Structure 1
């Protein structure tokens, strides 16, 4: 990153003040920085602040011509090695998606053919609006790097997703982005995550303790490594990952239908979801009253989705998960062979410090006719990276 020429595009949001510290951090670490600001951004921080830090005039107007730069937006685009949009409002995200060029920032970005890095920061309702989700997904498809917004106290006075990450985190993300190999470029990876629900009556249901965090981590890491990711999500409280296509399902039958359609075009299928093995034979149409001391429920077995995929598998790489509470390796190995898997991730969910609902995991990777690989306890993003490293070595 040292001596990289970074054009920082600042748009109007309360998080604009953080951009001051970020620009200072970039300069401190040896980067050459120039800044362009929208009119909205100038309402929060003056151009003079950034001009003082960068020792260069700030770009504020498409028609602000000086002797050296007859076409300012082209001059800035041609000068930069990297374009960083921070904070990125819903407005600039929409403009970038649709190629709108109506101010210095959007015009220069449209003329930029170097790597673009976008740090969205906005109210949670705007971030989760279908239009914004669609726009971010398109930017990712266009090769733009998107940093996941943080969750915390928002300007509106309540907590939610949409906070701009701290400058140090943004800097580390930029550094890491230049180190990450795009080793899954153009690979179609389908990942399932979360739990499923089976209705007992209109109020109650059967489910499990899966939070979806492992599957969501795999989706985000696979995207960073260049993959075209489809995330099929069961029930979870997690926010949709930025720029990733998410298909929501509820029941195991829903999951099976959606998975089989996606499997046809998948290069790699990772089944991290914890599906319900059984469903109620005849769910009650009305809420069951607690008039009796006992409620006997007739359960029938759901389709074994993973086993079905194992039979359908052609050139796809098929990865499964085994959540066990005893005899981890023996039970997981049996499952791997029975379901024709290329890789099985086994984890002990009897522990409270890893697995369901936690931010960390500790797993064993099993492959046919190979020694087991033990992955020591780490956060789920790191575990996801190791799983993807192993998948990369599988030859089908």
Structure 2
């Protein structure tokens, strides 16, 4: 893999009818000489222009990731996609939110990414690929698009976001807003409108066999037990009663979480379930499947070091500092994609404890003192100005009948 590779992704999508026969196109250029490194084009049946445009973006980012790109400059003639992915416009259409979340997750695979608008006449290559895909969707003979003339002047890029990922852009925006406010004593007690907050409903997955046996369960894909399945359904009913509108259920990709997420989504009327790999549990390495007592007996020195510092990893595993980096990245992406909305986040003990530690402004000691039950839920509200309110921690009232 190339140590450092900067690429330009130009993407487009469209439909004939909006909605109508739709398709997208994307091309990846080398940043230095505009050599074509990859092309993507696909018909997607009947869809809207915006759905097709997001499809082109996702295809371009996937191609850039496959090439090993570390720095990406995205150029599109869709102002909506550029502004939404730059964090300046809200994503109000619920049908676009899962697509934006997928694009945001892909963007976190690069060291940096920017989004810029270009006029349609400067996006000819991707436009030709998209039109060929629309021809296929409409049942026409596909055009030949590999000979598109690209020896044109370097496109003028406008309204390019700063050289940051969407998550970093959101953090920078919040920091700037905070810097512009005069500090006052007790600002955390300032009355705020709940409707303006982004609400994260944090849910630990339901019980598994290892949960019941109090064994470390990290990256091992352990399914829910029968009791865990019932807990997931009860949690879904509780959230449906608490929250009238949920934009999505975002989940760790491990099956104990996806099964919990799907049960919750069903209770909410079938809202989208969006996997997010940054929400996966800590990798416990050689401790996987062991009880605390077994680890204490076999790795006493390593256990002491791990309990003393979040920078220490279990043998062959992952330190909490590493988990914290990806969890904060995931949270920043959620706050950007679902700004002002309610999102259910289904994850594991370690990521959820880190989210609560950060929301409470607590120290690392909290990670070893806070207990989170299977299917317990916590609620955190975050406002655009950086204000945070932790509403609930480890609520299990919906499980009392077990």
TM-score (norm 2): 0.27
Mark the structure with the bigger radius of gyration: 1
More contact order relative to length (CA 8 Å, sep ≥ 6): 2
Which has the larger share of helix? 2
TM-score (norm 1): 0.28
